[in-house]
Structure 1
């Protein structure tokens, strides 16, 4: 472990150190022989070393140059570690998969967790599953259903393309430095592309963004200029409803009606 590294607040660094939670996360990732595993933000290697010991090979994406050397040194004699020193948002995950389907894992920086999730969605066809640790509030939003106060754009976009399963909560004391909020671990499994009925991904994203951009308004007003009355009728969606009342399937029908 590179315990002499000072966590950088600007990068949202909170390093996991509690062994019991580390083991639970590794069990959730559950790498199998032949799997290609990619860890986002390995930090000081809390998950990296146990994964290497268990699986023998691992690719990590690390933005902090001060951690690259220590990670490489730590992996010597443990397993085969490939380090991609880049911002994960600039990494082509499909190219990294090399024609295979990868398992993605990591303790995501809280300050860019949502952009990372949307980036992963763009490469969902190249991903077998994802096990991430994020702020509990974000995990709650990811798995929320219609009618929930935290059901929103993130919920709909993720659930349209993935099965979202919150796994367990991780308390602040499991990290250094301790964050001010609880964390949680979640599993996302991309859906079979053949079962995703979205005709136009860009239009779907635009409809969902617009609907929740003015969530206090009715869909008729929030989607003015995006969906017309005929499209609401074709989708079987009430224009008088609000975004948080509409399930994922209804959003897909509404977007498809104008595609």
Structure 2
């Protein structure tokens, strides 16, 4: 049975076996792992994963592909969650089990929202291996001073240690996308390295606000809230641009605002 890739789902099916082998080698699945695959598609990763795993959970939105998978694998080996991954409770998938391992060739049109969605369960996840647009991965792993460093970098690096593993060319897919792809490894930071913001909503709003105008000095971007920020105590230059600040400095600024009782940055924006 053939399956026509559906543009509305952002489907590009991995077809290069050497790339499949490289991904499986990077994941190194063990039989007892509790693993979830997002977007199994035509089983390019599903099949080799099931050769290593006792059981796999697959999240698939396309009902035709979900039906195809049900016909290929018995329920005791492959559990199909037919749903939009952006609406899946990944915590429930791992309830009562060891930490989840999450893998997938993610649809590029939902990759960033999905990465943020998964952050809700980072304390229940062991690692994540994803195929994404390389441009997105460049932003995920970028460091201060890098032109790719931005909101996505800061928001993910506060929770994860990430590695760009290798690139994947368009011809590895059917149909080929118009962009270069890459594989990223995401591991939640251990408790002794994890520092969460005092008020996550303030942190999120602060990071979003300053990167709206990334060429602007942060004292200008934060004009409505500068009276709550002691630049010297924070060790932050008010003339700095956002791409020059570390994740820790963003945390320090957000915590200072939260301590001062500033809880609604969006309402105070200029």
With normalisation by structure 1, the TM-score equals 0.94
Specify which of 117, 137, 140 is matched with residue 138 of structure 2: 140
Distance 1:210 1:18 in 2: 41
How far apart, in 2, do the equivalents of 1:208 and 1:227 lie? 15
Query: What is the root-mean-square deviation of aligned Cα atoms in Å?
Result: 1.6
Structure 1, unmatched stretches of 5+, are none
CA-CA distance at 1:52 after TM superposition: 0.6
Report the Cα distance in structure 2 between the residues aligned to 1:159 and 1:238, rounded to whole angstroms: 22
Task: Give a deviation string over 1:79-101, Cα, whole Å, max 9, x none.
Answer: 70000011111111111111431
Deviation readout 1:46-85 (Å, 9 max, x if unpaired):
10011011113100111111111111112249x7000001
SS of 2:214 mapped into structure 1: coil
Partner deviation per Cα, 1:190-247 (whole Å, 9 max, x = no partner): 0124432222222211111111112121111112334535343332111111101111
1:60 aligns with 2:53: no
2:79 corresponds to 1:91: no
224-233 or 117-126, which deviates more: 224-233
- 1:6-65 Cα shifts (integer Å, max 9, x gaps): 001111100001001001111111112421000011111110011011113100111111
| Alignment: residue pair count | 256
- Which of the residues 72, 89, 100 maps onto 1:102? 100
Q: What CA distance in whole angstroms lies between the structure 2 residues aligned with 1:188 and 1:128?
A: 9
Counterpart pick for 1:123 among 121, 145, 149: 121
- 1:38 and 1:60 in contact (8 A); partners too: yes
Identify the range of structure 1 (133-142 vs 24-33) with the bigger mean alpha-carbon deviation: 24-33
Distance 1:189 1:134 in 2: 16
- Say which is worse superposed, 95-104 or 114-123, in terms of deviation: 95-104
Question: Aligned partners of 2:35, 2:56: CA distance in 1, in Å?
Answer: 6
SS of 1:59's equivalent in the other structure is: strand
Q: Which moved more, 1:10-19 or 1:230-239?
A: 230-239
- Summarize deviations over 1:101-142 as a string: whole Å, max 9, x none: 100000000001000100111210111000000001111111
Q: 2:264 corresponds to which residue?
A: none
- CA separation of 1:202 and 1:193: change in aligned 2, threshold 3 A: farther
- TM-score calculated relative to the size of structure 2: 0.90
- Say whether 1:82 aligns with 2:79: yes
Residues 228/129 of structure 1: CA separation in 2 closer, same or farther (3 Å cut)? farther
Q: Which residue of 1 aligns with 2:261?
A: none
Secondary structure of 1:56 counterpart = coil
1:161 Cα shift? 0.5
Quote the Cα distance in structure 2 between the aligned partners of 1:227 and 1:6: 54
- Alpha-carbon deviations, 1:160-206, whole Å to 9, x = none? 11001000000111000001111000000001244322222222111
Tell me the distance in 1 between the aligned counterparts of 2:210 and 2:32. 42
